[in-house]
């Protein structure tokens, strides 16, 4: 089933070619037809209806199940929260409602957005993981069930599953979207992001949620100056990701963009190395109650990681934060001569089987830097699986990240 | 009833002069004797017992009722959350438990830590407000019911009630204490703080919670170089606060400290002015569900403030954040020549009656700057009411804020 374009749906609703309720009904039908196989939803509302007004009326949205909803349980992917019903909606859910969107259901998440896989299948190839931790959100959009979904990224949990499932996604600048009502793993890293069919769809969704028209990027499209970043500090990519990047570079150069290889300053590589210190130190604070009272109910990969990281010293964490601050300033200078960076979205295509959700090594630096990242599906087939490339802009420059990603997307479509 | 010193209690327990359970029983007795009059607690556990180990065993702690507790309801000071039982403890509650403290109950808070007064009385003079929003935490410590309490500050909700009630308090550096599980009003401002009888007690409490021995400040006590800040941008203080500051300056100079008047850079004054933009823009996101679904249940002062601030433009908020960032850098330079700043804790003594919790105008800048602030009760009587002074250090320098505050406290005690 083809993906549903949010922007196209808006245009049809605006023109009167489709009623907002019919758009919602289309998503309900697609969920009914596909989700028994894919397993992207924890629960959904089969009687969902469209709102009467707002730029996102008629848009059915799936919400990762670590994000609080007043109308659906929020189970955090864990038996510890089985049947848990929050009192209030998270801020991002309210932003969607205010824009007229319909919250159609909750999407699967690895427990506490960590590493233990869900049973969700990759819609592109059922023998592969959809990635994690925002597994259900990526899969539901990829399968054509819904035009928009929310996920979160602490390491690579938005961009990586988007790459694996062949959908567009944005991890915006740190705190562009509030994390109030989102289960915390690491407060310095957790970032709410969006999944949609294409980059224009992301821009329409994010702009409507935040009431920031500049994110639509309808103004003069400029040809971006692109810095190519190989992230050598994160190890080498697999062949498919290397190929995706080469194809993207060739396509944007043909479209007139300048591409120069950029070496990251050493302090930025250092920030990549200390990301896990920040993440695991904060996780031990954020999930202290779960760790103390329900240790054995925490699933094995996450539990092992927490057990390994008991007792990180505050001084080690303080040093990691200082490195991150210095790296943010150094990275900002990289944008003096280029508009955006282009790099891998993931080490390769989605791994086979459901034992692992994949590796965040090409994502975690950018999460720690707080900069906006966009995944653009690249048309590289590796056993029928998509592979994405990632566009990154400076902190707060989400509009530029989206417009450059649109440029890359169009260049790839023309090749 | 005299206040209970946490450090003194620890020493008596360590020496075996007092059992940890007897220390908890003493707090329960004091709550039983006084709280019907003062009204500092929303609820407490009359069967509370001491833990067997940990530096805070035998220490009864009151938790502001916007902070999640798994064993007590968390009502946010609002009928919207009447009887609400969170699933997990907030991170700061777990930090206390890990250190061996006993969570003895929940203390009163203005609704959502905003401006509408609680019925809590000021233990120093029942005809006056204890201040807010952490009303119950300040009052419970001041009345000698408990040796330690947690509050939160978004404008001045820790330092101001401490000043009004004559107790020591620290608002630590931003995110030294996690806000996971704390009801959010403004994520850039909300800061968890501690109330105790004296500065040494704060240091022992904060050090045990964070596992940071450097906060004990037992190392060589140096004589601080002090910058006197009059905060002219915030208006003039009342006579009592002016007098408290003069007394503190005279006392520390007599004790050998250097004091020089420091003018704040213009960008810092500008940050003072835009604090409300940050606070109210974020409040509309953080409390969007409550505002949409329970508007008329939000109490009047808070509702009026929210109604006034509907529709702050994202660009106005972005500009305010940029000002705050520039001001943080400028303020950091102020610490090149002084160790700490000394200024007012509040405009004056606690206002008469319970109609207002007082004014945060001498606090809000420092909350936005994220720097550690300590209230030291100054022995100035204004109608039998205490007035505090405030010591401020650079970001992350909580140890220095505490040791300088200890110096001021001792200088005041000797005069």
List of residues 6+ apart from B305 with CB closer than 8 A: B114, B115, B280
Query: If you average pLDDT over residues B230-253, what whole number do you get?
Result: 96
Query: In the numeric block, which tokens belong to residue A302?
Result: 């996450």
Interface test with B, best of A91, A278, A328 (most B CBs within 10 A): A91
- B292/A179 touch (CB, cutoff 8 Å), yes or no: no
In this model, does residue A317 exceed pLDDT 90?
Answer: yes
Instruction: With beta carbons less than 8 A apart as the criterion, state whether A48 and A60 touch.
Output: yes
Q: Are strands B60-64 and B340-344 parallel, antiparallel or unpaired?
A: unpaired
Query: If you average pLDDT over residues B397-411, what whole number do you get?
Result: 97
| Cα–Cα distance, A231 to A226 (Å, whole number) | 15
Interface test with B, best of A287, A289, A398 (most B CBs within 10 A): A289
- What are the residues of chain B with a beta carbon less than 8 Å away from any beta carbon of chain A? 70, 81, 84, 87-89, 91, 93-95, 97-98, 175, 178-181, 184, 187-188, 210-212, 282, 285-286, 288-290, 292-293, 314, 318, 396
Specify the range with the lowest mean pLDDT, choosing from A123-127, A353-357, A385-389, A411-415: A411-415
Residue A29 buriedness (CB in 10 A; 0-12 / 13-18 / 19+): exposed
Q: How much is the pLDDT for B111?
A: 98
- B89/A289 touch (CB, cutoff 8 Å), yes or no: yes
Q: How much is the pLDDT for A321?
A: 98
Q: Are strands B41-44 and A373-382 parallel, antiparallel or unpaired?
A: unpaired
Instruction: With beta carbons less than 8 A apart as the criterion, state whether A231 and A242 touch.
Output: no
Residues of chain A found within 8 Å of residue B286, distances taken between Cβ atoms: 91, 178, 180
ipTM above 0.90, yes or no: yes
Domain span at A377: 225-267+322-414
| DSSP per-residue codes, B108-171 | --SGGGSSS--SPPPTT-TTB---SSSHHHHHHHHTTS-SEEEEEESSSTTHHHHHHHT-EEEE
Alpha carbon B142 to chain centroid, angstroms: 13
- Statement to judge: residues A179 and A253 lie in one domain: no
- B88/A180 touch (CB, cutoff 8 Å), yes or no: no
- B91/A285 touch (CB, cutoff 8 Å), yes or no: yes
Q: How much is the pLDDT for A222?
A: 82
In this model, does residue A218 exceed pLDDT 80?
Answer: no
- B87/A70 touch (CB, cutoff 8 Å), yes or no: no
For the CA atoms of chain B, what is the radius of gyration? 20
| Residue in this structure with the two tokens 């530096």, named with its chain if needed | B55
Question: Which of B98, B180, B289 is closest, CB to CB, to A70?
Answer: B289
Query: If you average pLDDT over residues B6-33, what whole number do you get?
Result: 98
Domain stop point among A190, A215, A240: A215
Q: How much is the pLDDT for A381?
A: 67
Q: How many CB atoms lie under 10 A from the CB of residue A261? A: 9
- Statement to judge: residues A183 and A261 lie in one domain: no
- B178/A286 touch (CB, cutoff 8 Å), yes or no: yes
Query: If you average pLDDT over residues A323-328, what whole number do you get?
Result: 98
Specify the range with the lowest mean pLDDT, choosing from A107-121, A328-342, B352-366, B371-385: B371-385
In this model, does residue A221 exceed pLDDT 80?
Answer: no
- Per the structure, the count of domains in chain A is 2
In this model, does residue B222 exceed pLDDT 90?
Answer: no
The strand ranges marked E within A233-288 are: 258-261
Residues of chain A found within 8 Å of residue B186, distances taken between Cβ atoms: none
In a domain? residue A273: no
Residues of chain A found within 8 Å of residue B288, distances taken between Cβ atoms: 89, 91, 94-95, 98
Q: How much is the pLDDT for A172?
A: 98
Ramachandran angles phi, psi of A151, nearest 5°: -135, -175
Q: How much is the pLDDT for B200?
A: 97
Nearest residue on chain B to A175, alpha-carbon basis: B187
In this model, does residue A190 exceed pLDDT 80?
Answer: yes
- Statement to judge: residues A249 and A346 lie in one domain: yes
Q: How confident is the model at residue B252 (pLDDT cuts 50, 70, 90)?
A: very high
- A178/B286 touch (CB, cutoff 8 Å), yes or no: yes
Question: Which of B181, B292, B396 is closest, CB to CB, to A94?
Answer: B292
In this model, does residue B377 exceed pLDDT 80?
Answer: yes
| Cα–Cα distance, A238 to A365 (Å, whole number) | 19
Q: Give the gap in angstroms from C-alpha B293 to the nearest C-alpha of chain A.
A: 9
Question: Any idea what the CATH number is for the domain that residue B199 is in?
Answer: 3.90.1300.10
Residues of chain A found within 8 Å of residue B99, distances taken between Cβ atoms: none
Signed CA dihedral, A397, A251, A7, A1: sign only = negative
| Cα–Cα distance, B311 to B308 (Å, whole number) | 9
Q: Give the gap in angstroms from C-alpha A94 to the nearest C-alpha of chain B.
A: 6
Q: How much is the pLDDT for B384?
A: 80
In this model, does residue A220 exceed pLDDT 70?
Answer: no
Nearest residue on chain B to A68, alpha-carbon basis: B289
Signed CA dihedral, A126, A132, A135, A141: sign only = negative
- What are the residues of chain A with a beta carbon less than 8 Å away from any beta carbon of chain B? 70, 81, 84, 87-89, 91, 93-95, 97-98, 175, 178-181, 184, 187-188, 210-212, 282, 285-286, 288-290, 292-293, 314, 318, 396
Question: Which of A89, A184, A282 is closest, CB to CB, to B289?
Answer: A89
- Statement to judge: residues A160 and A127 lie in one domain: yes
Q: How confident is the model at residue A10 (pLDDT cuts 50, 70, 90)?
A: very high
Instruction: With beta carbons less than 8 A apart as the criterion, state whether B223 and B407 touch.
Output: yes
In this model, does residue B220 exceed pLDDT 60?
Answer: no
Instruction: With beta carbons less than 8 A apart as the criterion, state whether B232 and B344 touch.
Output: no
Specify the range with the lowest mean pLDDT, choosing from A242-251, A380-389, B16-25, B272-281: A380-389
| Cα–Cα distance, B369 to B191 (Å, whole number) | 11
Angle, helices B91-98 vs A266-286, to 10°: value is 70
Q: How confident is the model at residue A196 (pLDDT cuts 50, 70, 90)?
A: very high
Query: In the numeric block, which tokens belong to residue B232?
Result: 């002219």
| Cα–Cα distance, B146 to B44 (Å, whole number) | 12
In a domain? residue A352: yes
Residues of chain A found within 8 Å of residue B314, distances taken between Cβ atoms: 210-212
Residue A197 buriedness (CB in 10 A; 0-12 / 13-18 / 19+): buried
In a domain? residue A134: yes
In a domain? residue A288: no
Question: Which of B94, B98, B285 is closest, CB to CB, to A178?
Answer: B285
Q: Which of B148, B195, B149, B188 is nearest to B170 (CA)?
A: B195
In this model, does residue B59 exceed pLDDT 70?
Answer: yes
- Share of chain B residues as helix, strand and coil, in percent rounded to the nearest 5: 40, 15, 40
In this model, does residue A24 exceed pLDDT 80?
Answer: yes
| DSSP per-residue codes, B182-194 | B--S-TTT-EEEE
Nearest residue on chain A to B287, alpha-carbon basis: A91
- A288/B89 touch (CB, cutoff 8 Å), yes or no: yes
Interface test with B, best of A70, A79, A84, A88 (most B CBs within 10 A): A88
Q: How much is the pLDDT for B398?
A: 98
Instruction: With beta carbons less than 8 A apart as the criterion, state whether B343 and B358 touch.
Output: no
DSSP 8-state class, residue B353: B
In a domain? residue A71: yes
Q: How much is the pLDDT for B378?
A: 85
Q: Give the gap in angstroms from C-alpha B331 to the nearest C-alpha of chain A.
A: 17
| Cα–Cα distance, A223 to A258 (Å, whole number) | 8
- A180/B180 touch (CB, cutoff 8 Å), yes or no: no
- A187/B175 touch (CB, cutoff 8 Å), yes or no: yes
Query: If you average pLDDT over residues A207-229, what whole number do you get?
Result: 89
| Cα–Cα distance, B154 to B176 (Å, whole number) | 15
- A290/B88 touch (CB, cutoff 8 Å), yes or no: yes
- Statement to judge: residues A86 and A185 lie in one domain: yes
Chain A and chain B share a number of CB contacts under 8 A equal to 76
In this model, does residue B219 exceed pLDDT 60?
Answer: no
In a domain? residue A94: yes
Query: In the numeric block, which tokens belong to residue B190?
Result: 């909300």
- A94/B288 touch (CB, cutoff 8 Å), yes or no: yes
The model's pLDDT over B324-338, given as tens digits with 9 standing for 90+, comes to 999 999 999 999 999
Q: How much is the pLDDT for B217?
A: 81
| Residue in this structure with the two tokens 């835009």, named with its chain if needed | B274
Signed CA dihedral, A310, A314, A320, A324: sign only = positive
Question: Any idea what the CATH number is for the domain that residue A231 is in?
Answer: 3.40.190
Virtual CA dihedral for A334, A340, A341, A342, nearest 10 degrees?
A: -170
Nearest residue on chain A to B69, alpha-carbon basis: A289
Q: How confident is the model at residue A382 (pLDDT cuts 50, 70, 90)?
A: low
Question: Which of B94, B178, B210 is closest, CB to CB, to A292?
Answer: B94
- A91/B212 touch (CB, cutoff 8 Å), yes or no: no
Query: In the numeric block, which tokens belong to residue B335?
Result: 């610490």
Query: If you average pLDDT over residues B212-229, what whole number do you get?
Result: 87
Instruction: With beta carbons less than 8 A apart as the criterion, state whether A346 and A361 touch.
Output: no
| Cα–Cα distance, B405 to B392 (Å, whole number) | 9
Query: In the numeric block, which tokens belong to residue B135?
Result: 């009303």
- A178/B282 touch (CB, cutoff 8 Å), yes or no: yes
Residues of chain B found within 8 Å of residue A288, distances taken between Cβ atoms: 89, 91, 94-95, 98
- B187/A210 touch (CB, cutoff 8 Å), yes or no: no
For the CA atoms of chain A, what is the radius of gyration? 20
- Statement to judge: residues A32 and A168 lie in one domain: yes
In degrees, rounded to 5, the angle at the alpha carbon of residue A60 between the alpha carbons of residues A56 and A66 is 110
Q: Across chain A, what does the average pLDDT equal?
A: 97
In this model, does residue A145 exceed pLDDT 70?
Answer: yes
| DSSP per-residue codes, A191-235 | EEEEEESSHHHHHHHHHHHHT-GGGG--S-PPPPEEEE---GGG-
In this model, does residue A1 exceed pLDDT 90?
Answer: no
The model's pLDDT over B278-314, given as tens digits with 9 standing for 90+, comes to 999 999 999 999 999 999 999 999 999 999 999 999 9
Q: Give the gap in angstroms from C-alpha B283 to the nearest C-alpha of chain A.
A: 10
| Cα–Cα distance, B12 to B9 (Å, whole number) | 5
List of residues 6+ apart from B30 with CB closer than 8 A: B1, B4, B143, B144, B145, B146
């Amino acid at each position: 089933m083809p993906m549903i374009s949010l922007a196209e749906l808006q245009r049809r609703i605006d023109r009167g070619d489709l009623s907002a309720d019919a758009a919602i009904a289309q998503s309900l039908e697609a969920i009914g037809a596909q989700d028994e196989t894919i397993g992207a939803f924890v629960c959904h509302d089969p009687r969902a209806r469209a709102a009467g007004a707002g730029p996102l009326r008629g848009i059915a949205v799936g919400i990762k199940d670590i994000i609080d909803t007043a109308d659906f349980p929020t189970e955090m992917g864990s038996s510890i929260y089985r049947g848990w019903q929050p009192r209030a909606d998270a801020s991002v859910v309210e932003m969607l409602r205010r824009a007229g969107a319909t919250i159609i259901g909750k999407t699967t998440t690895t427990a506490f957005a960590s590493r233990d896989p869900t049973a969700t299948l990759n819609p592109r190839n059922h023998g592969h993981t959809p990635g994690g931790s925002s597994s259900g959100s990526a899969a539901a959009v990829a399968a054509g069930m819904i035009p928009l979904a929310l996920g979160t990224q602490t390491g690579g949990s938005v961009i990586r599953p988007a790459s694996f499932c062949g959908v567009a996604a944005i991890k915006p600048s740190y705190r562009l979207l509030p994390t109030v009502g989102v289960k915390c793993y690491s407060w310095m890293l957790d970032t709410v992001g969006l999944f949609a069919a294409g980059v224009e769809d992301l821009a329409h969704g994010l702009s409507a949620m935040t009431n920031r028209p500049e994110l639509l990027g309808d103004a003069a499209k400029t040809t971006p100056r692109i810095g190519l970043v190989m992230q050598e500090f994160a190890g080498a990519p697999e062949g498919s990701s290397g190929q995706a990047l080469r194809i993207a570079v060739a396509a944007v150069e043909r479209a007139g963009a300048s591409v120069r290889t950029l070496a990251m300053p050493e302090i930025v590589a250092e920030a990549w190395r200390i990301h896990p210190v920040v993440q695991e130190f904060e996780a031990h604070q954020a999930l202290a109650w779960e760790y103390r009272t329900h240790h054995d109910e925490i699933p094995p990969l996450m539990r092992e990681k927490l057990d390994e990281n008991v007792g990180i010293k505050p001084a080690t964490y303080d040093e990691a934060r200082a490195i991150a601050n210095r790296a943010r300033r150094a990275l900002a200078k990289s944008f003096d001569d280029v508009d955006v960076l282009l790099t891998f979205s993931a080490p390769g295509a989605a791994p086979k089987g459901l034992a692992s959700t994949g590796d965040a090594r090409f994502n975690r630096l950018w999460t720690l830097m707080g900069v906006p990242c966009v995944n653009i599906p690249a048309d590289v087939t590796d056993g029928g699986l998509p592979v994405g490339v990632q566009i990154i802009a400076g902190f707060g420059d989400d509009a530029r990240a989206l417009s450059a990603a649109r440029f890359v997307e169009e260049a790839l479509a023309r090749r």
